[in-house]
Structure 1
């Protein structure tokens, strides 16, 4: 079982995949701007993983 499964029915719509990937990255930017680098790294890593799994790799063609 993967941490983020792009084949799950929840991620069937493109806007859900993009929102799930971009929201943590935006929050990481906010945390960095407010002087919290630890949280920025945490949310940045989560957003990068989501972006990789949901946007770059994407759902398989079944």
Structure 2
């Protein structure tokens, strides 16, 4: 569900390195916000990282990332 909501099923995210970079960036953002005292932003970034990690690595289905408008 979170994949459709955030548009994570775009073909851009099919290569694994892009998925790893995005989840890593969100985790680093959460850590930075937590270190600087922004707990609200840290929770938001951590939840996004967890949701993206789930969609990209646990529930990953390559068929979801195929363009729908291809003939």
TM-score range, shorter chain: 0.7 to 0.9
Can you list the C-alpha shifts for 1:18-51, whole angstroms capped at 9, x where unaligned? 1111211110001000111000001111111110
TM-score if structure 2 supplies the norm length? 0.72
**Which portions of structure 1, spanning 4 or more consecutive aligned residues, are displaced by more than 6 angstroms?**
none
**What value does the CA root-mean-square deviation take over the aligned residues?**
1.9
1:60 pairs with one of 59, 62, 65: 62
Q: Which has the larger radius of gyration?
A: 2
Are residues 1:50 and 2:43 paired? Answer: no
Structure 1 stretches of 5 or more lacking a match?
Answer: none
TM-score if structure 1 supplies the norm length? 0.81
